[in-house]
Structure 1
Amino acid sequence: MNEVYARIQHARTADEVVGRIEDLILEGVLRPGDRLPGERDLSSRLDVSRPILRDALKQLETRGLVVSRHGDGTRIADLIGEVFTPPVMELVATHGKAIADYLEYRREIEGVAAGFAAARATDDDRALVSDILARMRQAHRHADFEREAALDVEFHNTVGECAHNIILLHTLRSCYRLLADGVFFNRGLIYALPDARDTLLQQHVAIGEAVLAGDPHKAARAARDHIDFVERAMNEAERTQNWQKISRLRSLQRAAGRKPAQGGER
């Protein structure tokens, strides 16, 4: 953690501190909600005076990059949440074409990200990918759906980070926020399909292993195949859900028809 907030070597000014925090946010090292170290600790790590640090944090807060609350310290602002405002999310969630466009976008952009990740991943990146794959396998063995769903988003975010492209990183994070919040579809419906959980794990492993192997073409293909499956599974889950609704309505109607009429003829 000390390496994250490495001491500033040259001019120790508020602008230098602002630039350091900006870089950490832009590169995805600091994520929305991450709390900065306390004032005394952070000023010591950066090797700047506390007045300089306070000035820098004030500038960052004025620009909306950090949020300070009494008793909670200073945290990185939820910048991603502002990409898709609630009215926009509500609008796209209620239009079928937006769902198709979302998956089309993910298919292409994740293929690019996975290819870059395979070509650019560092040893630390590969260690992160290996760790998350191990946790995904464990969650799958325990049939822990909530954990699997959370790790799904974490895995894709990690691959995006391994691509080492700032624009891709933040674009994908906003994209995955929609996924995590269930804006477009309920992933629980997909997980309920026969063999879907097994297939999803295999596909995530295929992407991860291609990244670990440094094979950009294989990684890109595995990422696109994954989204193709998600789209098919989503359509099947929606169709199955509609069938279940119709079957339920029929059963209710037949049951009502078999009941003796109240107050009937004598």
Structure 2
Amino acid sequence: MSSPVFARIHSSRTADDIIGQIETLILEGILRVGDRLPGERDLAVQFDVSRPILRSALKALEAKGLLVARHGGGTFVADVIGEVFSKPVMELISSHPKAAADYLEYRREIESIAADYAARRATDDDRLLLRGIVDAMQRAYETDDFKREAELDVELHSTIGECAHNIILLHTLRSCYRLLADDVFYNRTLIYGFPGAREKLLQQHLSIAAAILAADPDGARAAVHGHIDFIEQAQKDAARSSAWQETSRLRRSQRELDRP
């Protein structure tokens, strides 16, 4: 069983002590969007504070927009990331080829930095977490669980951001991966449809993780570059294939109309 993330308050046992601790847990990415806090009784015991003090702290964090209470359902970490872009802008950039290219260019550089830092800074616990994700990726691949593969793709990249141990980089990447999770800039289904693409993506993810686990920052950077380069080319190939199929369909339809 994992140990609690909430530590006993040793000082004045005020609401401010609790607020500071929970804010740090959110800022460091230990508590993530949607995580449910323990029940009031258990949480008061973990903090070693009275329940009135705990309630005061939780209400203050709700007022700050960091927590959200659901009637009869508990208290959760709020969506502190939010939408990266407004809906109109999202719709605009999702159909703009240059935006997709710029997104991959951005990912190539930012993820290279994250992987470099992770290779230098990952702790033993970080490495255990990475190995668990990689093992899950292999199982999803072997069972043809496409949905799980896509989820773990995002999870791996997010975890690498956590292993980099840079707060600004962490939250910047989380915003970036919200777009990745929503398939805003490329259709993962089309890419998976290409022969050997799923295997190549798996091997690329394994290579990135292996370099980080081996504390090889140069290798981690190179693996990220290779991964994004492949996605970029696969995206172009998918778009070209889709255009060919549409042209063929129109050509066939026209020929059928021309028949006597």
Give TM class, smaller chain: over 0.9
Superposed, 1:244-259 pairs within 5 Å as 244-258=245-259
- Deviation of the 1:149 alpha carbon: 0.8
Cα deviations across residues 157-185 of structure 1 (Å, max 9, x unaligned)? 11111111111111111101101011112
Cα deviations across residues 170-225 of structure 1 (Å, max 9, x unaligned)? 11111011010111121111111121111101100000000110101100110111
Kindly indicate whether residue 146 of structure 2 is the aligned counterpart of residue 145 of structure 1: yes
Query: Is residue 210–residue 216 contact of structure 1 (8 Å, CA) maintained in 2?
Result: yes
The residue type equivalent to 1:70 in the other structure is H
Aligned to 1:25: 26
Kindly indicate whether residue 125 of structure 2 is the aligned counterpart of residue 131 of structure 1: no
Count of aligned pairs: 259
**Helix, strand or coil at the partner of 2:82:** helix
Q: Distance in 2 between matches of 1:168 and 1:88?
A: 23
Superposed, 1:157-176 pairs within 5 Å as 157-176=158-177
Q: Distance in 1 between matches of 2:15 and 2:84?
A: 28
Cα deviations across residues 7-26 of structure 1 (Å, max 9, x unaligned)? 11112111111111100000
Q: Distance in 2 between matches of 1:231 and 1:152?
A: 16
Which runs of 5 or more structure 1 residues have no equivalent in the other structure?
A: 261-266
Aligned to 1:219: 220
- Deviation of the 1:2 alpha carbon: 4.2
- Deviation of the 1:250 alpha carbon: 1.1
- Deviation of the 1:252 alpha carbon: 1.5
The residue type equivalent to 1:165 in the other structure is N
Q: Distance in 1 between matches of 2:99 and 2:114?
A: 22
Superposed, 1:81-120 pairs within 5 Å as 81-120=82-121
Q: TM-score, normalised by structure 1?
A: 0.94
The residue type equivalent to 2:81 in the other structure is I
Query: Is residue 84–residue 174 contact of structure 1 (8 Å, CA) maintained in 2?
Result: no
Aligned to 2:61: 60
Greater shift in the superposed pair: 77-86 or 214-223:
77-86
Cα deviations across residues 134-167 of structure 1 (Å, max 9, x unaligned)? 1111111112111111111111111111111111
Quick check: which has more Rg, 1 or 2?
A: 1
Q: TM-score, normalised by structure 2?
A: 0.96
Greater shift in the superposed pair: 89-98 or 171-180:
89-98
Cα 1:2–1:209 change in 2 (3 A) is: closer
Percent identity of paired positions between Structure 1 and Structure 2: 63
Cα deviations across residues 75-127 of structure 1 (Å, max 9, x unaligned)? 11112123333233223213222111110000000000001001111111101
The residue type equivalent to 2:50 in the other structure is S
Superposed, 1:228-239 pairs within 5 Å as 228-239=229-240
The residue type equivalent to 2:146 in the other structure is F
Q: Distance in 2 between matches of 1:79 and 1:205?
A: 30
Aligned to 2:37: 36
The residue type equivalent to 1:57 in the other structure is L
Q: Distance in 2 between matches of 1:115 and 1:8?
A: 35
Query: Is residue 160–residue 169 contact of structure 1 (8 Å, CA) maintained in 2?
Result: yes
Superposed, 1:176-191 pairs within 5 Å as 176-191=177-192
Aligned to 1:51: 52
Q: Distance in 2 between matches of 1:92 and 1:9?
A: 50
Which runs of 5 or more structure 2 residues have no equivalent in the other structure?
A: none
Cα 1:112–1:105 change in 2 (3 A) is: same
Q: Distance in 1 between matches of 2:89 and 2:167?
A: 24
Query: Is residue 6–residue 46 contact of structure 1 (8 Å, CA) maintained in 2?
Result: yes
